[in-house]
Each structure stands twice: as structure tokens, then as C-alpha cells.
A and B are shown apart, each in its own frame.
Chain A
Amino acid sequence: MDTFLHSFWQYAYLFAAFATVFAIKWLNHPSTARRGVITGEIGFALAIIGTLLRKPTPSDPSGVVHYTGILIAIVIGAMIGAPMARLMPMTAVPQFTALSHAFGALAAALVGTAEYYYDFPAAPSGFKMVALTIEVLLGFLTFTASLMAFGKLQGLVPSPPITYKGQNFVNLTFLAAGVVFGVWPIVTAAPVWVYPAFVLISLLFGVMFILPIGGGDMPTVIALLNSFAGAAACAMGFALQNRLLIIAGALNAASGFILSVIMCKAMNRSFTNVLFGAFGQVQEKVAGKQAARPVRSATAEDAAMLLVNAQKVIIVPGYGMAVAQAQHKVRELTDQLVKRGVDVQFAIHPVAGRMPGHMNVLLAEADIPYDRLHEMEDINNEFSETDVALVIGANDVVNPAARHDKTSPIYGMPILDVDKARNVMVIKRSMNPGFAGIENELYYDPKTLMLFGDAKSFLSEIVKEVNAQAPVHA
């Protein structure tokens, strides 16, 4: 029994590693996903309890002797975290995710710094120091970069790219300086000021890294920051020779990496273009070159008439729906149309919104069953047999220029083929071009009806009109 207690942490870590793997595995389908979350929670609880019970031995000095501070820290963390998770409105998911990346990365960076100062002024051995340097660099830069991303998503920092001349050069200089100050203590004993300088540069680099990235590129960036936070935890695993940390960190790093690749592909852009291209800034020159062309605008009455007489409607939501918080009105309209025998489906572009899967969460929050939500590849060939495609607050992801206009900045980006539907309706505040600053030729298509107004109030008017025009006889 004594030996079991003594090595309990080993079993706990082993279980936690498996729990982490299965938590992600079961997330592959909504029917098993919650089981995965519970498994993950049990794994983490065991990992923490195991660590607390871990005692130092002559061959392995790692172990816990002082408890008071740790227990207080855990209680404080839980007391802040729980209300945050409970009270957060679902529309704030992207900001919230950015903020929690900041906390996770900060924790990794602080542990790395603490490890460095543990035996100070003696520096850790070569291998451990390399791992610590990677951990601290990634941790601190992800911390400030995530805070910046949070600021952009929350509207505290201007969302368009902030650029200046020679920006990429300055950023690269910063990164190089960070690497020099990071490598210095690895190679030889460094002066006392080098490590704090390294920390400071890592923090600053995170801020400069996000400045030139626009709000519409946030899906890629958030996924990338997610990956960095995992990589930092993974590096800590190497520094501490802790395989649970290596496995959990590697899974997270791989996950964030795949998501950011998917986001890049969905915009037909490369990593370098997203990170250094300052997209949306450069393109403003392109906008406005086309002379005013006629557009057909319509009222809620016209829209309702088309919708109730349709057999099949596909709704295409975008960031504009999230901004207007129109998802509940979308649900109302869906319910009313379904009651009248209209087939209503949803087409979700991978980069719609500000983070991967953003639209799905909003529509699920509004109680729209997930059977109606379809990925781009699955639904794209259904537009040709659709009576009405209703675009709510989406822009670049439905611009046909991406298919044929080689001069368009979004040329080659996979789009939803809404222009193949018999009728197209676009709810939009004004004719202002979208995030990429590109004119959308869909709006000038003769079969497109523009519905100008706030998405939420316009939708409720349509619902009213639907009820007036086609009362349901129970």
C-alpha cells in the first residue's frame, strides 16, 4: 500500500495521458463529445491530485512539500474560472478563447522562468535550458499576442491591420534579438540582465506580431495561438522530463496547427500571407474602382413572399449575423418556414466568423438542430436546386469573383456557390465592402435582392410578414 501511494502519481499521469487522448477522440461527434469532456476532467483531477501526493525521493527530487500556497492558488483560480465560464455570453466565444490562451501560455512561461531561477545563479543543464528557452519564448509571446487578439475581438484595439514602413524588418529584428538572448544562457553563463531582457523581448514580440493582422484573419491566428500554447506546455514536458506534459502539449499543438491549416486553405492563402501580408489593408486600393452599378433592393414584404413560396431555402450566415446577434431571429424564421413546409438548410463556410466553428456554436445556441448545419463541400452542389439563398452578414465567402476574376485578391478562395440558386437575398447594413475591402459582384447580379438594414430587425420584420402573408391553420 505504501509503495502504491508512493508511486500513485505515476498511475495518475498515465491515466491522465490516456484521458486526454480520448477526450479529443470522442469530440469527433456531438453524440460522444460530452463523454470526452468528462473523461478529460477526471484525468486532470487525477493529475493534480497525483502531483500533490508526489513526494521527493533521493533519486528524484521533484515532489510537493509545501501545500498552503498551492491550495490557495487552486481555489482562487477555480473561483475566477467557474463564474467566467458560466456567465460568458456565447457571442463572446472568440474573445473568451483568446483570453484563455493568454492564461494558459502565461502559466507555461512563468513555470519556465521559475525553473530558470530555481538554482540561480547556476543555470540549468544544456538540454533542459534549451527546452526552457523554447517554453518561455513561446509562452510569453503567446501571452501578449493572445491579449492583443482579445483586444481586437473585443473592440479595445482597432481591428484593421496596423502597419508601418519596414514592419517585417522590425519584427524580424525583434525575433532575432529574442533568439540571441535566449540562446546566450544556453551556451555560456550570461550576465544577470540577459534573462529579464529575453522575457521582455518575448512579451513585446507577441504584441508586434498581432498588430499587422486584421480581424478577419482571426480564425487562423487564434488557431495558431492555440497551437503555440500547446507547444509551450510540451516544451515544459521536455524540461521537466514529464511525459504527461509532452503528450498533452503535443496533442494541443497538433490540434491548433491542423485548425490553422484548415483556415488557411479555406481562404486559399499561405501562412506567411496571413501573418505578414497585412491583408485588408493593401486591398483598400482595389475597392471603389468600379462605378456605381444598379442594385435591386427589396422590402421585408418582398422577401417574405419569396421565402414562403420557396421549396428549398439555404441560409448562409457570416460574421455580420454574430455582430447583430441575429441568431435567435434566424431560428424564428427557420421555424416559421419549416412549419409551412419549406426545406431550410444552413451552409457554413469554414472561415465564417472570427474563429473556427464560430457560426455552428451561435446557431446551436439558438436551438437550431445540427442536422441542418452543413459544411461547404457537402452543400455546395445543392445551391443549383435551391429557390432562395439567404445571405446574412457574409460577404467574401460568397463572392463569385473568387472563382473567375484572376485580379481579385480573393481569387482561388473556395466559396459557397450562392449565385447558382434561383434567387439570392443578401441582408446587409450598407453597400460597404467587407473585410477584404473587395467589391462583391454578387450584389449586382440581376437575381440578387439586397435587403438593407440591421440583420436582427430586418429578420423580425420578415417573420412578421411571413405570419401575415401565410397564416398557418392548425
Chain B
Amino acid sequence: MNLHNPTDVFELGILSVYVFLLAVILGLELVRRVSPLLHTPLMSLTNAISAISVVGGILIAGAADVKTLPKILGLVAVTAATLNIVAGFMITDRMLKMFKREPGKGGKQ
């Protein structure tokens, strides 16, 4: 696979579209099944997930031949994304800890 070869890049692009379509369908099906009880935690969790862009920021900021402007932009992006990941996962967990069943109704929490 050579990223400078147009044919290979096209192949990669098409493959990505397949992945995208399947992921969207999977997402729609999964979220439909999430209880409305947990819609707020769902939003904070997916919000942490959207900060996966941290990967792109790291790759830009850490590249061998990066110029100053893209490097700074990349580093700010890494900061913002990390903030989002940490806060998003922690707040989701904090919320989920609050959801409790009626005591004595059996079953685990």
C-alpha cells in the first residue's frame, strides 16, 4: 500500500466508506436501544468519544518535519481533546454511579 499511488489511495477511500456506512448503521441500532433513562450519560460518553481526534492532533504535532503553525495548532488540539476525554469519561462515570435501584428489589445494582 503506497499513499502516493492514486489507485491505492482510491482503494483506501472506498474501504473507508464501507467502514463508515457500517459504523453509522451500527450506531443507529445501538443508540436506539439505550434507555431514555441514560440519555444524559450517553451524551457525555459520546462526547468523550468524539475527542478521538486527539489521535490526529498527536500525529500532526509529533511529525518529523512539522512547521511551527501546524505544530502549535496540533498541540492546542491535543490539550482540548485530552480535556474532553478525561472530563467526558469521568463525568459519565460520576453520573452512572448515581443511578440506583430500589433497595431490596433484588438483582445487582
Chain A contacts to B: CB under 8 angstroms? 16, 20-21, 23-25, 27-31, 33-34, 36-37, 40-41, 44, 47-48, 51-52, 54, 56, 59-67, 69-70, 72-74, 76-78, 80-82, 84-86, 88, 90, 93, 96-97, 100-101, 103-108, 110-111, 113-115, 117-118, 120, 125, 127, 222-223, 226, 229-230, 232-234, 236-238, 240-259, 262, 348, 350, 355-358, 360-361, 364-365, 367, 369-373, 375
Contact = CB atoms under 8 A, between A and B. Distances in A.
B92 A81 contact: no
Interface string B77-104: 1111111111111111111111111110
Nearest to A83: B87
Contact of A104 (B32, B64, B81): B81
A52 B16 contact: no
Contacts of A106: 76-77, 80
Q: Interface on chain A toward B: helix, strand, loop, or mixed SS?
A: helix
Contacts of A62: 59, 63
A111 B53 CA distance: 8
A66 B59 CA distance: 10
B31 A60 contact: no
Contacts of B42: 24, 27, 255, 259, 356-357
Contact of A370 (B47, B50, B100): B100
Given A44-B85, A259-B39, A356-B43, A110 B76 contact: yes
7 contacts: A24-B30, A40-B48, A40-B89, A67-B62, A250-B20, A357-B40, A364-B98
Nearest to B94: A85
Contacts of A117: 67, 69-70, 73
Given A56-B63, A110-B57, 15 more contacts: A24-B31, A27-B41, A28-B35, A51-B55, A51-B58, A81-B82, A85-B86, A103-B81, A107-B77, A107-B81, A114-B61, A251-B26, A253-B24, A356-B39, A369-B105
B55 A77 contact: no
Contacts of B109: 30-31
Contacts of B82: 73-74, 76-78, 81
B102 A371 contact: yes
Contacts of A56: 63-64
A230 B23 CA distance: 12
Interface residues of B, number: 89
Nearest to B52: A248
A373 B35 CA distance: 11
Contacts of B26: 21, 251, 254
Nearest to B82: A77
A357 B41 contact: yes
Interface of B: 1-3, 9, 12-13, 16, 19-20, 23-24, 26-28, 30-64, 66-67, 69-71, 73-103, 105, 107-109
Contact of B36 (A107, A115, A257, A348): A348
A31 B53 CA distance: 30
Given A31-B108, A370-B99, A118 B16 contact: no
Nearest to B36: A375
A76 B64 CA distance: 23
Contacts of A16: 52
B61 A370 contact: no
A69 B87 contact: no
Contact of A96 (B13, B16, B61, B91): B91
A23 B59 contact: no
A131 to B, nearest CB: 9
A356 to B, nearest CB: 4
B61 A244 contact: no
A88 B42 CA distance: 17
Contact of B40 (A21, A111, A255, A355): A355
B27 A360 contact: no
Nearest to A230: B50
A369 B100 contact: yes
A130 to B, nearest CB: 10
A253 B26 CA distance: 11
A84 B67 CA distance: 33
A51 B59 contact: yes
Given A85-B87, A104-B53, A118-B67, A97 B44 contact: yes
Contact of B38 (A27, A61, A113, A257): A27
Contact of A66 (B51, B61, B108): B61
A108 B53 contact: yes
